Structure 1
Amino acid sequence: MPIPNTLAVRSWIATTLIILLFLGTALSSGFLAWAAQNDAKAINTAGSIRMATYRMNFLLVANQSSAELRAADISSVQQINQLIDDMNQRQSLLQHYQSQRTNKDTRIYRQIERIHQGWTQTLMPLLLARDSVGFYKASLPYIQQVDAVVSQLQYRNEQRQNRQQLLQLISMSLMILIMIGGIYELRKKVLLPVKKLMQAKAAFTSGKLETRVHLTGYKEFEELGRSFNDMVSTIEQNKQFLERQIALKTAHLTQANQVLSLLYDFAKYLTTSQVSITELNRLIADFGKIIPELEFTLCIKGDLIDNKDAIAIHSSELRDLCSTTTCDSCLIKSSFYTESFLIRHQKSQFGDLRVRPKSLGISRPTEQATPSENRIPLVQVAQLDSMIDDTETQVLIANNKPAITALTNLISTAMFLLQQRQQEHQIILLEERATIARELHDSLAQSLSYLKIQTTILEKRLQHTHCDSPDLALVSDSIGKLKDGLTSAYQHLRDLLVTFRLSLNDDSFDEALHNSAEEFAKKGGFNVKVSNQVISLNLSASEQVNVIQIVREALSNICRHANAKNVTVNFGYIADSNDTLLSISDDGKGLSGSFDQTHHHGLMIMQERAKSLGGQLTVSNNEPTGTVVEARFSPDFFNG
């Protein structure tokens, strides 16, 4: 099982080794000291045996004369016995010392045995025999043997001291090695990781968030390094998140400021000018640039009118017309990712603003689309390259909903102001026309009536005058022509008064157009079909009046001169342009090679009306029979 590479375990191992070495050294030194504690005593004992041998020699030599020996027999015997007892005691001590377990040495043991045998077998009998010469001769090798034992005991004692010193040296060396190893490991696995950690901390404090530390060493420092890296990564991620949030908030504030500036500029424009399709197109395009993630389509439709073409304005600066037959099936409108915001003010509804993710895009219809003469190119959602998460779409639209709502409110206000100004212009125009009609009725109409009465009186008088003058017939013919002219002028005046008194209340342009057609249809006895695809909000008050007047003049001419059975009035947009086209066609007798301008002065009126609209009027033959009157012009709403 591998030893865990942790600071605690390694510290315990080093401490344990040092303690074990200390204890081992202490025990070994104590054991050696205990084993050598009797060495000096044994050496002294061996030395004392040598001294005792010297004393015995001295005693024997000193008492060699027989007289003296006999005189001191008693005392010498006692001395000799004491020496023998002392020698035996010393021999026993030396043998006991050598018999201990710590002193087991065969060589020394044999040497001590020889000393003991030399004493008991040689010296002690000679001493008892008081043979000084023999004792002296025998003591010489005996003393040499004792010296050899002393030398061996001294040598063993020195060996024991050397071992003790060697053991202490080895222990000290091992302790030093352990300490050096510990210091090296401490430097490598503690100090260097701490230094790296401090350097990483300093680098991180200076702003280097990408700083990472790779610590090798103890497990604690590796864990500390990983924890530091995790902490730095967390701080870096949080900082990046906060930076993204700040950038996002800044972008939102910048976007909101741009939206406010755009809406403010448009609102300021509305205070001095009338809204136009060009300005709406620019507004939607600029708004789409501010919020590039979303695609905007402004669909302008008439309020509660089902038979009018809608105008679709896209944030990609593309404008389309949507016919009534295809508006409900528009792929943008029916797209799952599209959200609609109504453009309405109070009770008036002007259309809706359709919002969808930018990635959906827009495209033209495919060639397989069913062709139709009433079908105008339709906006179609492109096929998705990848699926879009509905939640992301909802969040994207929801985040920008306040700005989109502000845009729809401003467009609603602009359209309402346009409608209100048109109504104001209509009121002013109609009041002025009513005043002119009243003045004409009070002046010219009465004058014509008076002339007509006087002409009738003159005609009656001529009938009762009996005159054979040849000029009478000419006078009567002139009076008849004058009467016809007065009648025609009076009729035109009445028509003119009707025109001047024409009322356009609210969104009644379509109604006025139909009423005018039905009025002349009853007079002329023909069938009339009216198709109006233009929203009245796209026409100013004067444009509406001029269009109706052209229609009335054309129908009046048809009623008087065409002998038509069927009449068609069409008013609609021209695709891919800002123009509208008014067409009045009939199946009557058509135009002759030359016609009397006195009976067609209405044509000049229509031309003047078309000119005042900034357009042109054309009159041509209809196929197979009849006449076609076309007026093409561009409303001010598209050219603002």
Structure 2
Amino acid sequence: MTSANSLPMGKRLTFRILLTTLIGLALTLAAIGYTLLLSWQLEGGGAAINEAGSLRMRSYKLAVELEYAASSTSVEQQLSEFNRTLADLQAGDAKRPLFLPVTPSIRAQMRKVQDEWQKRVQGNARRILQMTSPEERQAAIRVFREELPEFVSQINTLVSLVEVELAEKTTWLRLCQTALIFMSLAASVALLYLLYLWIVGPVTRMQAGIARMSKDDLSVRLPIETEDEFGVLAQAFNQMADHVQSVHRTLEVRVLEKTARLQAQNHEVSTLYEIAGFLSGPHAIEELCRGFLHRIMQRIGADGGTVRILDSHSDNLHITVHEGVSEHMIEEEHCIKKDECLCGAATQQGIVIVRDFRLLNQEKRYRCQEEGFVSLAVFQILARDQVIGSFSLHFSTERSISGEERRLLETLGKNLGAAIENQRLIAKEKEFAVSQERNLLAQGLHDSIAQGLNFLNLQVQMLEDSLRRNDMEEISDIAPLLRAGVQESYEDVRELLLNFRTRLQDSNLESQVRNVVARFQRQTGVHGEITFEGNGAPLAPEQQLQVLFILQEALSNVRKHAQASEVRVLVHNERDFSMTVTDDGAGFNLEQVHEKGEEHVGLRIMKERAERLSARFTIESAPGAGTSIALHLLRQERLVA
């Protein structure tokens, strides 16, 4: 097939159109340029006629100045202006424009006028100016006047010659304009004809061919009449028609093949979606592997299968789940090295596919073959590009794995690896969260109950000593202290149990805060004031729970140490979140606490919870001025609820 780019330059339609356009443009520009030249010459010649005509008036004005002028200054000025006008006529001025035609007769007449002026008129005028006798001066002026008409006649001749020349050019200008009109008409007709011959005709024939083909007339062919782009296009149309006619004959077979491919692709996609959806659910690792293996075996048509997880510390592969495989084989292979058997080799070498065990080395033992399986396919389980196990599919008959199935199983192996890794991370996260809560619980027990028990231990020792000495007065002093210590420890235990049982209801932080403060008021009798400001989005549940724990710990410290009569809680929720708890109690000296290297009871717990929130925790206090704690969570640290 010939392409448009391989055509010779002379046969290309674009070259012909460009050449025709350039020729027409050149002729048009030449005609317009010649017309503009004639117009410019006519304008310059008209200005020359005006200047030459003004010489006649200046001649007579010079005669009057010679006769009546009181001084020679005005006469000299007239002579200077006359010379300047002659110089302009001789040299011309393209800016005005002003110039005489270049014909020989006009140039000869201009020289006569210049000679007559230089030799006779200007010379006589200067001699008259030099005469002192009035009688001689008047006689010379009469002679000057008598000779002046002859000079003016020469100027008139010059003007007449210029007018004749301009009349001829005016005639040429009209002829050029008329010719330009006829050229435009002829060019338009020629252009229309060429457009029809080169473009409209071929496009019309092609449109008719396309219309016939759209009516299922696949036998239509276009005549190739030219060797330009439309000829190439007609050839391409004919080849397309041949191809369409050929395709139409085999359309049914092609449709069946395409339908089969689409069904296979749909089956692959549905398998991927189904198994990916299952793997994204909250299942234990064993349940994930069992459900994965069951679905894969159904989709692929396998008779047996296993999922093995790699122990990275010992390089052992452990069978996690199996299906369709005897217990005897599982007992032998429940734990193998990763360089043993084909399932172990797949973790190092990649995919292992055995179409027929009978074609392998029969001297080597294959447990799958002993089980009666003929074919085997083993794929890696990958998590973050690291092999964490393998899964195998066993077939009782000879079975090959197609390229589409291979890609699908590779993808599903990566999905299973990601699901297993996610479950491991979730388990570690839960373990870490439990560890943190246990640590906080231990700190709470140490800061409250342990200190109370230590106090009780000291009091019991003192009581025993008093009993040995039978000091009833000291015993009576110690007994109330023991009762108060036991009561304080009992209240601490109740408060800790209540705090660690706190759960969010419907993720409503405001109602939970009000409940905590109300319970605090009932237990202590201290007045509580709550203020909520802002209309920001709610915090995530885990962040809300940490805020509640910090509030409970702050109120617990108020109950134990502050001796306050009022507590104010301010919650400000905009893009940033902040909570401030202020009491009017006894307060304490922060500098002394830091110097001693100690902290208030519960302060360490509140700081650690604030760090878990990635929030800023501050405390302000002074003896007799109360205490204020503030929690500030920046917008970039907030989690979406």
Q: TM-score, normalised by structure 2?
A: 0.30
Q: Which has the higher contact order (CA 8 A, sep 6+)?
A: 1
Structure number with greater Rg is 1
